[in-house]
């Protein structure tokens, strides 16, 4: 009985997610798009949904949306990626699709939430294979700047990134580089 | 009619999702998105969550204690303090509450956000900006651990399954290869049922059976108490009435204590539950002592006590067996042992002869 109900619920969940994905692809309204994407990104928080989300190619949907012009869409898509990228299958999929580069690009966004999601997602996507790409010099440099941010949340995340994911040598190198260049990625706006 | 409505409702359950799903769901979703939180279309990530909750809209009535009590319902609170500098509406205060666990904060937020509190609506939100670097680090690690646990459980289910199977093979292969059919191997949920009974019960029955065969008919049904008492009585009968050769007598003494300990277990369990006034206890003890001397006298005509001086057996404590027949047989055995180890006292001899036969009858009656 309960198993049947669960099956029904499971089916319902998949159908519901399918409806969201369909609406996201079909709708012309950017507002509806945002709302639906937020919905999907929140579903990505719960590991129970991962099978469905993979089935519906929501990972691709998130990754594709990272290149949209709409800031809010990028924020939500990155939030979704940040939510589901700890799962090993999802992580492998994102790494395979070169999601790291797309996420690194988002570090220069002006939206704080996006940037924070990006920092966390990068930490969660770090594997022996992806480490080199994730702790590339420009990224470490960026993190150094973030670690000085007035936003406590951002500075905390950047500090963790520098302390736990980078070698002291890398940090030192990036520090030397920032000393000599006046250029830098602007801090995200509030 | 009832059947029809049942059928239709059953169809609806599937139907909402199957056929009308999209429209229905779309409609409800639109309503949900517009209706519930018109302002905030928000994506919650681990960055946004926190053990720190910010509570706005607390009426400035000096109700901090009540507020904290309200939140403490959802988990241990590590710290709490009013945020005097935080911009607040007039006559309201803002509080910061730090939970020990993020899960408590989640539940508290869900339950208490937009709740009426002393005539004002609370607004509860996460406040990760109050986290230290270390706290943020732990939060991220906890999320990592949680996902690893949840997803690994799924993945490792199969590994565990295999381990389980090999485990079963190790233990049970000699006994029953039939249990390792592929069907069982693939079906985890049935495995536990194989663990307890069918295989193992013979194993622990075996030693019992062995003892039974050793001590012959007198303890064949050791596990069934009422029968057992009768058997015991019989056993004692055998011991006392047979004219035993030293050998058989020796065997008897060896076996009986084993019964006694078993018997005692049963009796103790029963007897512990029962209260008996001290006077009754004393009377009972006296009665038993009397009985004991009677039985001691019966055994007296077996005169080979001096011959059997084996290893001294552990003394059986005198316990009220709760059951008259058990008491009788216990005291009988006790006295038998006493008799075997100690020579019988002389003064009791005269009375004994006249009592021998009636006591035997008494015992039978029991």
| DSSP letter assigned to residue B345 | P
pLDDT at B302 over 80: no
**What is chain B's mean pLDDT, rounded?**
62
Collect all residues of chain B within an 8 Å Cβ-Cβ radius of residue A190: none
The pLDDT score that the predictor gives to residue B86 is 86
The pLDDT score that the predictor gives to residue A185 is 60
Collect all residues of chain B within an 8 Å Cβ-Cβ radius of residue A113: 43, 47-48
Q: Do B43 and A152 touch (CB under 8 A)?
A: no
**Which pLDDT band holds residue B223 (cuts at 50, 70, 90)?**
very low
CB A103 within 8 Å of CB A64:
no
By mean pLDDT, which of A61-65, B147-151, B291-295 is the weakest? B291-295
CB A97 within 8 Å of CB A176:
no
CA distance B335 to B289: 10
CA distance B302 to A136: 100
Q: Six-digit token pair at B107?
A: 């539940």
pLDDT at A168 over 70: yes
The domain ranges of chain A are 2-106
In total, the C-beta contacts within 8 angstroms joining chain A to chain B are: 98
Residue B73, chain A, CB below 8 Å: the answer is: no
- Residue B17 exposure: Cα atoms within 13 Å on the Cβ side: 15
CB B232 within 8 Å of CB B218:
yes
CA distance B118 to B236: 80
**Short-list A36, A172, A41, A173, CA closest to A114:** A41
The pLDDT score that the predictor gives to residue A74 is 95
Collect all residues of chain B within an 8 Å Cβ-Cβ radius of residue A83: 43-46
Q: Spell out the domains of chain B, with CATH numbers in brackets.
A: 2-35 (no CATH), 52-131 (3.30.70.330), 135-190 (no CATH), 222-365 (no CATH)
CB A91 within 8 Å of CB A126:
no
pLDDT at B264 over 80: no
pLDDT at B14 over 90: no
**Which pLDDT band holds residue B258 (cuts at 50, 70, 90)?**
very low
Reported ipTM? 0.88
CB B140 within 8 Å of CB B49:
no
pLDDT at B100 over 50: yes
Residue B22, chain A, CB below 8 Å: the answer is: yes
The pLDDT score that the predictor gives to residue B46 is 94
- Max mean pLDDT range (A162-171, B247-256, B312-321, B352-361): A162-171
N-terminal to C-terminal alpha carbon distance within chain A? 51
How many helices (H) and strands (E) in chain B?
13, 6
pLDDT at B187 over 60: no
Radius of gyration of chain B, Cα coordinates, nearest whole angstrom: 39
**Short-list A124, A45, A43, CA closest to A85:** A124
**Which pLDDT band holds residue A25 (cuts at 50, 70, 90)?**
very high
Measured in whole angstroms, how far is the alpha carbon of residue B271 from the centre of its chain?
23
CB A112 within 8 Å of CB A155:
no
Measured in whole angstroms, how far is the alpha carbon of residue B207 from the centre of its chain?
26
Nearest CA in chain B to A76: B43
What's the mean pLDDT in B200-212?
39
State pLDDT tens for residues B308-351: 555 555 555 566 767 788 888 888 888 888 877 766 555 555 54
**Short-list A61, A167, A52, A188, CA closest to A119:** A188
Collect all residues of chain A within an 8 Å Cβ-Cβ radius of residue B140: 120, 123-124, 160
pLDDT at B38 over 80: no
Cα angle A98-A103-A105, degrees, rounded to a multiple of 5: 105
Interface test with B, best of A153, A158, A159, A188 (most B CBs within 10 A): A153
Greater confidence, B35 or B330? Answer: B330
Q: Residue A77 contacts by C-beta under 8 Å, 6 or more apart in sequence? A: A37, A41, A61, A62, A63, A65, A66, A68
**Which pLDDT band holds residue B27 (cuts at 50, 70, 90)?**
very low
- Max mean pLDDT range (A112-126, B85-99, B219-233, B281-295): A112-126
Tell me the nearest-neighbour CA distance from A170 into chain B, angstroms.
20
Q: In what order do the strands lie in the sheet with B92-99?
A: B77-82, B92-99, B52-59, B123-126
Collect all residues of chain A within an 8 Å Cβ-Cβ radius of residue B150: 47
CATH of domain A2-106: 1.25.10.10
Residue linked to tokens 């050769």: B245
The pLDDT score that the predictor gives to residue B50 is 94
State pLDDT tens for residues B160-175: 555 555 444 444 444 4
pLDDT at B203 over 60: no
pLDDT at B178 over 80: no
Strand bridging mode B92-99 / B52-59: antiparallel
Q: Residue B267 contacts by C-beta under 8 Å, 6 or more apart in sequence? A: B319, B321, B322, B323, B326, B330
């Amino acid at each position: 009985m309960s198993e049947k109900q669960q099956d029904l619920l499971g089916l319902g969940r998949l159908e519901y997610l399918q409806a969201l994905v369909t609406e996201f692809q079909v709708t012309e309204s950017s507002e509806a798009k945002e709302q639906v994407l937020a919905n999907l990104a929140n579903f990505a928080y719960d590991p129970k949904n991962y099978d469905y989300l993979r089935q519906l190619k929501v990972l691709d949907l998130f990754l594709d949306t990272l290149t949209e012009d709409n800031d809010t869409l990028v924020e939500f898509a990155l939030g979704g990626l940040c939510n589901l990228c700890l799962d090993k299958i999802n992580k492998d999929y994102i790494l395979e699709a070169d999601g790291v580069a797309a996420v690194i690009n988002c570090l220069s966004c002006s939206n704080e939430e996006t940037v924070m999601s990006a920092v966390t997602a990068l930490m969660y996507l770090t594997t022996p294979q992806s480490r080199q790409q994730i702790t590339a010099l420009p990224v470490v440099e960026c993190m150094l700047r973030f670690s000085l941010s007035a936003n406590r949340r951002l500075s905390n995340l950047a500090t963790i990134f520098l302390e736990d994911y980078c070698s002291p040598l890398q940090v030192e190198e990036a520090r030397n580089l920032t000393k000599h260049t006046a250029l830098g990625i602007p801090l995200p706006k509030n | 009619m009832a059947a029809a409505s049942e059928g239709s409702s059953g169809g609806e359950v599937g139907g909402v999702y199957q056929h009308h799903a999209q429209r229905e769901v779309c409609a409800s979703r639109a309503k949900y998105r517009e209706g519930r939180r018109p302002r905030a279309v928000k994506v919650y990530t681990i960055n946004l969550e926190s053990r720190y909750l910010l509570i706005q809209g607390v009426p400035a009535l000096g109700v901090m204690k009540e507020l904290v009590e309200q939140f403490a319902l959802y988990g241990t609170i590590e710290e709490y303090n009013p945020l005097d500098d935080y911009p607040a509406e007039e006559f309201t205060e803002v509080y910061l509450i730090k939970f020990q666990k993020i899960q408590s904060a989640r539940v508290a937020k869900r339950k208490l956000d937009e709740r009426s509190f002393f005539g004002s609506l609370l607004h509860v939100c996460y406040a990760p900006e109050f986290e230290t670097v270390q706290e943020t680090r732990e939060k991220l690690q906890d999320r990592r651990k949680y996902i690893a646990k949840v997803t690994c459980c799924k993945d490792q289910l199969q590994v565990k399954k295999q381990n389980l199977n090999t485990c079963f093979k190790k233990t049970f292969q000699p006994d029953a290869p039939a249990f390792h059919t592929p069907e069982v191997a693939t079906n985890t949920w049935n495995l536990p049922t194989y663990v307890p009974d069918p295989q193992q019960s013979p194993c622990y029955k075996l030693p019992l059976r062995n003892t039974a065969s050793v001590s012959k008919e007198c303890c064949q049904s050791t596990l069934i108490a009422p029968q057992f008492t009768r058997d015991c009585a019989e056993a004692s009968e055998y011991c006392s009435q047979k004219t035993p050769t030293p050998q058989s007598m020796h065997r008897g003494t060896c076996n009986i204590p084993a019964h006694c300990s078993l018997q005692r277990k049963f009796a103790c369990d029963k007897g512990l539950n029962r209260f008996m006034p001290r006077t009754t206890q004393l009377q009972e003890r006296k009665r038993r002592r009397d009985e004991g001397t009677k039985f001691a006298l019966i055994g007296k005509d077996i005169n080979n006590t001096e011959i059997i001086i084996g290893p001294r057996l552990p003394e059986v404590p005198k316990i009220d067996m709760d059951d008259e027949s058990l008491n009788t047989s216990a005291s009988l055995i006790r006295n038998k042992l006493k008799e075997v180890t100690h020579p019988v006292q002389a003064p009791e001899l005269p009375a004994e002869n006249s009592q021998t036969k009636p006591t035997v009858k008494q015992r039978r009656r029991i």
